[in-house]
Amino acid sequence: MIDRDKNVIEVSHLTKKFGDFTAVDDISFEVHKGEIFGFLGANGAGKTTAMRMLTGLSFPTSGKGSVAGFDVWTQSEQIKKHIGYMSQKFSLYGDLTVRDNLEIFAGIYGMKRQVASVRIEELLERLSLTGESRSVVRDLPQGWKQRLAFSVAIIHKPEIMFLDEPTGGVDPAARRQFWELIYEAVDEGITAFVTTHYMDEAEYCDRISMMVDGRIDALDSPAALKLKYGADSIADVFDILARGAKRTE
């Protein structure tokens, strides 16, 4: 299912500076089509800055990058059409209903009415929210809100979904359910680019990268990384790498 010959994200020597501060320091990596790519790092390591460049929210200072085949320098409009994004903050409209939220984002991504309504029914069913489609989002439990936010991010079947700490603040059972959703979306052919600081979640990824002080210090499959650093878990690998970090929050 993972197509190693086809990359949906290609980044080489990407750098972002804010004045004297180098937030992202010369990173290079590829994300293969159909994989779940874990983008790990401590707070302040530069994850968010890197993600903002990949999602077309800001321009790099130097380096090259392409997302879904479009250049980050010149084609950010095209990139935005082909990606989905789920923010770490809950970012749906609490005052509107489940269906309203889905319809709004279907409209924002320019989906045709019939296509959108089929897709909305499908997603509601997958979330088991069909009965709640007229409920106001504000009143839903946190776990459901997050799953709805996820559905909104993939409503237009993007090539890549960027999930920025999608499971923050939910209990382990809800996290497990959430990852089921990610797998289902990946089965649909969507590539997942996930940041997280739950190290157990990192084990669910096909490959992970670890950012320390703006650089990518390690990038491989979880099993290979554990082997390389002689660690029992990804958390231990992370500890070994993070020990060298100079930046703290």
Partner 1 sequence: MREFFAFVRKEFLHIFRDTRTLLVLIGLPTVLIVLFGFAISTEIRNVNVGLLSSDGDLPVMRLMEEIDQSEYFTFKGSYPSEDRIEEAMRRGQIDVALIFGKGFSSRLYSPEGAEVAIVADATNPNNASMEVMYLSSIISSYFRDDMVMAAMMSPSAGYGSLVPNLKMMYNPQLKSSYNFVPGIMGLILMLICSLMTSVSIVKEKETGSMEVLLVSPVKPINIVLAKMIPYFVVACVVLINILLLTIFVLKVPVEGSFFWMILVSVIYIVLSLGIGMLVSAVVRTQIIATLICGVIFLVPVMMFSGMLYPLESMPAALQWFAQLIPAKWFIEAMRKIMIEGVPVRYVTNEILIMTAMAVIFFAAAVMKFNDKLD
Residue 15 contacts partner 1 per CB under 8 A? no
Count of residues engaged in binding partner 1, rule: CB under 8 A: 33
Told to check if 18 binds partner 1 by CB under 8 A, we report: no
C-alpha closest to that of 43 among 80, 88, 2: 88
CB of 55 to partner 1, least distance (A): 5
Q: Compute the distance between CA of residue 176 and CA of residue 22 in angstroms, rounded to an integer.
A: 35
Per-residue contact string for residues 112-141; x = within reach of partner 1 by CB under 8 A: ------------------------x-----
Q: Which amino acid, 223?
A: A
Binding mask of the shown chain, residues 60 to 89, with x at each position contacting partner 1 by CB under 8 A: -----------------x--xx-x-xxx-x
| Closer CB to partner 1, 70 or 204, in the complex | 70
Q: Does 30 bind partner 1 (CB under 8 A)?
A: no
Q: Is 198 in the site for partner 1 (CB under 8 A)?
A: no
Binding mask 139-158 for partner 1 (x = CB under 8 A): -------------xx-----
Q: Which of 103, 132, 159, 206 is the binder for partner 1 (CB under 8 A)? A: 103
Told to check if 108 binds partner 1 by CB under 8 A, we report: yes
| 95 sits near partner 1 (criterion: CB under 8 A) | yes
Site of interaction with partner 1 (CB under 8 A):
55-59, 77, 80-81, 83, 85-87, 89-96, 100, 103-110, 136, 152-153, 162
